[in-house]
Amino acid sequence: MSCCEHEHEEVLPEFAKVGQKVPEFTLEAFDPTEGGFCEVDLGALRKEGKWAILFFYPADFTFVCPTELADLATKHKELADLGAEVISVSTDTKFTHLAWKNDERLLADVTFKMAADPTGEVSRFFDVWDYDTGQALRGTFVINPEGLLVSSEVNFYNVGRNADELFRKMDANNYLKDHPDEACPAKWTPGSKTLTPSEKLVGKVYEALND
């Protein structure tokens, strides 16, 4: 993983961990919007104040994967409106991404960048690398504009994800960025009540949500 240099030496975790900073790195990618190849640069996204959503999946030209990317495409604009850059990632090359995008009709509406991790280096850092297959498990990671990993989800090969739930979690994390003293309860959606942790809330969560 190509990490950027820092003035002060930084001790990086062996694996990505929620609540810790993710090192800056770059990946080659296919950009369906431009129809050509590009580079995904986590450091550049950070400087732009963007969130990054990394959406790992096992392989192009497989079965559950195109249904997931098609589902993610339905929420791409809404995620972008929250300031998030959506990036799908697999261990396929950028050339395979291009061919798959052109062949698979389910991917017709995919416009987010499709990054290539053929060495598995980034997949190993996010602990989704399967050493038996050389593929990545279904992992979704949300990184805030300060570079902290705030959400992590990993599924096995045979269970697809839900972009609606990803959007809900992204919406909640975006809200909490501006309201750090609050917390979002289960199934929180914009306009719903939040919680403000304190000694007064202990044993009184029901009352706080239903007064």
For residue 199, the 8-state DSSP code is: G
Answer yes or no: 65 catalytic: yes
- Count of C-beta atoms within a 10 Å radius of residue 132: 5
- Strands 135-136 and 129-130, sheet pairing: antiparallel
Please name the residues in contact with 164: beta carbons below 8 A apart, sequence gap of 6 or more: 75
Exposed / middle / buried, residue 27 (Cβ in 10 Å: 0-12, 13-18, 19+): buried
For residue 21, the 8-state DSSP code is: B
Name the catalytic one among 3, 38, 65, 184: 65
Active-site residue list:
65
